[in-house]
């Protein structure tokens, strides 16, 4: 199992499945590389953090949040050709207090 962290604080479990956009997200989904995200068949709104791989001041790898968007039901988001998307259930980013510029890490257990 993987975890999404910010400054050592666990924000959510990373949902490992790669299909089933219509299913509820438990924690967060992480999409790498070219990705097309949609909410057709979903029963809720999704939040997306558009991230770019970078390094912390101490040299550790992280994902820097560049943009945060909300994807309502029956919509298609812009295509992410490079970088990483972190997708979560509506309201998760507010609970996590996620902001542009935050450095996220994905740790395996």
The pLDDT, as a whole number, for residue 17 is 64
State the Cα–Cα distance between residues 87 and 71, nearest whole angstrom. 10
- Among candidate residues 100, 79, 92, 80, the one with its CA nearest the CA of residue 28: 92
Q: Which three-class secondary structure state does DSSP give residue 87?
A: strand
The pLDDT, as a whole number, for residue 83 is 83
pLDDT digits (tens), the chain, 109 positions? 899 999 889 999 998 765 555 566 778 988 887 777 777 777 778 899 999 999 888 888 999 999 999 988 777 777 777 788 898 888 999 999 999 999 999 998 7
Any idea of the CA torsion for 63, 1, 35, 38, to the nearest 10 degrees?
-110
Q: Which three-class secondary structure state does DSSP give residue 77?
A: coil
- Sequence ranges of the domains in the chain: 2-17+28-108
The pLDDT, as a whole number, for residue 82 is 75
57, burial (CB in 10 Å: exposed 0-12, middle 13-18, buried 19+): exposed
């Amino acid at each position: 199992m993987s975890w999404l962290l910010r400054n050592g604080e666990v924000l959510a479990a990373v949902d490992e499945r790669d299909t089933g956009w219509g299913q509820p997200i438990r924690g967060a989904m992480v999409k790498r590389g070219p990705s097309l995200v949609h909410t057709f068949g979903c029963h809720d709104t999704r939040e997306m953090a558009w991230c770019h791989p970078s390094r912390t001041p101490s040299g550790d790898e992280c994902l820097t949040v560049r943009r945060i968007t909300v994807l309502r039901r029956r919509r298609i988001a812009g295509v992410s050709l490079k970088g990483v998307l972190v997708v979560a259930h509506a309201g998760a980013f507010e609970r996590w207090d996620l902001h542009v510029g935050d450095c996220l890490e994905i740790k395996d257990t």
